[in-house]
Amino acid sequence: MQITPETLLAANRSTFAPKSLPGVFTATAGAGGSLRGAGEIPDTAFLPEGRPDVLETRVPPPVQDGPYTIGVGDVVLLATPQAGNTIEELSGLLAAQNSRQGYTVQDDGAIAVPDVGRVPVAGLTLEEAEAVVFRRLVEAQIDPTFSLEIAEFNSKRVSIGGAVNTPTIAPISLTPLRLDQAIVAAGGITVVDQDYATIRIYRDGTIYQIPLAEFYTQPDLQKVRLTDGDSVFVDTEYDLAKAESYFSEQIQLASFRAELREAAINELQTEVSLRRADMSEARDNFQTRLELDSVERDYVYLTGEIAQQGRYPLPFDRKAVLADAIYEQGSGMANERANARHIYVLRGSPDPREFGSVTAWQLDARNAANLLLATRFELRPNDVVFVSEQPVTRWSRVVNQITPSIINLTATAAN
C-alpha cells in the first residue's frame, strides 16, 4: 500500500499507547511535605512607648468576615428526640423534649459519639459539622433527626489586661468580638490620665495601639474586630514597666514559635534529602535494568539497505515515526545501495490467528517531498522497516559472488 496523505491517516488510526516511564521519574522530592512548625515567623514587635508628645495611632488590619469554625476545646451539644411510652406520646408530654448531650472536641479535632465513633468536626462551620454528623448517623443506621449547637466556646480567645478592673480572657463566639466588648468583659478601664493612656493590641508579633482619647471619640475604633490569639493591654505612662513585662512574655512566645518553625524547616529539608536519595536510587536501578535489557520494551526492527541494521526501541511516553527509526543516531539509509523508491513498513495483524496477514506500507522517497510523510507515519510495536536494494547493487553482488568461482576454475585449468 503506497504511503500517501490519505493512507497515512489509515495507518495511524490503529490504537497504540506508548509505555510510560515509572512514576519516580515525574515525582518531586518535596511532594507531600508540610511544615510542622507554629506558622509564619512574627514580625518584629513594637516596644511599649514612653510619654510622647502625640500618641501614634496604629490600627490592626481588618479581620476577614466569616462563619465561626469549631475548634479544639469547644463543647458541641447534640440534641436528639427522646423516646417515650405511648401514653406520654399521646398526651403530648414528650412534645419538644429532646435528649441533649454535650461533647468536647478533643485534641485530634473529633468528638466521640456513642454507637457512632469519632466524628471529626474541628475546622468546620456549624453547618458543615451538621452534614458530617448526619452522614455518620446514617452510616451507623441511627435516626438522623438531631440538632447541633455549640454550648461552650473554648478554642478561640482574647486576653485583656493592664489598667482594667478585672483582667480576663474573653471567648470568641458565633458573633464577632469587638474591642469595646472585650474591655467591658474586663470590667472597664481604670486609668486616671486618659490623655496619655493607650490601648495596645498584640497580634502575630506586632503591637498596634489606639490612644484612649481617640477610642472614646471614634466609634469605628471602638468596633475594631478582634481575632483568636489577640492580647489587649490598656497602658498608661505609669504602667510602662508592667506593659513591658506583659509584652516581653508575648515576644518570647513569638520567638519560640520562630524556633519551632526553623526546626520544622530543618526536619523537612532532611526528609526531602532522604526522598531525593530514594528517588535517585530508584532511577539508577531502572537505568541499570534498561542497560541489562530486563525492562519490557516495544521495538521496531530495521533491515535491508540501511546503514545499521538492528532494533529500534520505541520511546517512553510518546509515539515514534518512520523518520525516527531510519535516521536514529545518524544511521539513515545506505545511499550507494538503497533504493529510495522501495522503503517498506511491514505490519502484521494483531490477531494471532491471522499470522500470515501482513500489510506492507511503501514510501517512494525519490520525490524528496514524500520524506515529510515519513515524519508523520507512526510506528507500532514489532513493525519491520525494510529498505530494498538498487538493481545495480543486486547485479554487483551476483558478480562478486561469481567472480571468485571463475578465477578458481581458471587457476585450476592452468594448473
pTM: 0.42
Lowest-pLDDT choice from 88-102, 198-212, 259-273, 293-307: 88-102
| Residue 167 confidence (pLDDT) | 92
User: Is the pLDDT at 153 greater than 50, yes or no?
Assistant: yes
195-238, pLDDT tens digit by residue?
778 899 999 888 898 998 889 889 999 999 999 989 999 987 54
Q: Is the pLDDT of residue 173 over 80?
A: yes
Provide the 10 A C-beta neighbour count for residue 92: 9
Report the candidate in 362, 365, 373, 321 with the shortest Cα–Cα distance to residue 339: 365
Work out the mean pLDDT of the chain and round it to a whole number: 80
State how far the Cα of 265 lies from the Cα of 35, in Å rounded to an integer: 7
Mean pLDDT of 23-32: 68
Higher pLDDT among residues 218 and 308, named by residue: 218
pLDDT at res. 181:
93
| Measured distance CA(319)–CA(313) in Å, rounded | 11
Read off the pLDDT of residues 38-71 as tens digits, 9 standing for 90 and up: 455 445 444 444 455 567 889 999 888 888 999 9
Q: Which of 4-8, 130-134, 153-157, 311-315 has the lowest mean pLDDT?
A: 4-8
Percent of the chain clearing pLDDT 90 (strictly above): 22
pLDDT surpasses 60 at 35: no
Residue whose C-alpha is closest to residue 104's, from 69, 77, 68? 77
pLDDT at residue number 398:
55
| Mean pLDDT computed over 292-317 | 87
Whether the per-residue pLDDT at 320 is higher than 50: the answer is yes
Per the model's pLDDT, the better-predicted residue between 143 and 105 turns out to be 105
pLDDT-derived band at 96 (thresholds 50, 70, 90) equals very low
Structural domains in the chain plus CATH codes: 5-19+296-396 (3.10.560.10), 75-152 (3.30.1950.10), 157-249 (3.10.560.10)
**Which of 310 and 398 is assigned the larger pLDDT?**
310
pLDDT in the model for residue 411: 65
Res. 158: pLDDT tops 90: yes
How high is the pLDDT of residue 94?
44
Does residue 171 have a pLDDT over 90?
yes
Asked whether residue 393 carries a pLDDT value surpassing 70, the answer given is no
Average pLDDT over residues 280-292: 88
Task: Convert the pLDDT of each residue in 352-378 to its tens digit.
Answer: 666 668 889 898 888 888 888 888 999
pLDDT value of residue 114: 86
pLDDT tens track for 180-193:
999 999 999 888 77
Question: Cα(232)–Cα(248) distance, rounded to whole angstroms?
Answer: 14
pLDDT tops 80 at residue 82: no
Q: What is the pLDDT of residue 31?
A: 52
